[in-house]
Amino acid sequence: MDYVEIYSFITGKQETVGYIELEDNVITFRELPTKFVDRIREDGIKGDDAEVFFPEDGIRFLEALRYRFSGSMLRASEVKSG
């Protein structure tokens, strides 16, 4: 299984707020707000080259998360295996 951790810095320290996992080419969202998940499913996310990826894109979607969520309040890790 490959996954990305989503971190928040709202409290002034890094806290893991959820995970996006890929197993058997299926993306699963864990511990993330429904509104956040719905928005990603509907709008997709832009990768580093401005191409839009959706959960159906599998590993390419996971890899794009760190480019989309790289701000001071919300950040995604690189893809991890485990």
Residue 17 is part of which domain span? 2-81
pLDDT number for residue 47: 85
Q: How many domains in the chain?
A: 1
33-49 exposure pattern, b = at least 16 Cβ within 10 A, e = fewer? eeeebeebeeebbebee
pLDDT tens digits, residue range 16-73? 999 999 999 999 999 999 999 999 999 999 988 889 999 999 999 999 999 999 988 8
Distances (CA, A) of 63 to 8, 10, 11, 58, 75: 19, 24, 26, 9, 13
The gap between the terminal CA atoms of the chain, to the nearest Å, is 6
User: Whole-model pTM?
Assistant: 0.90
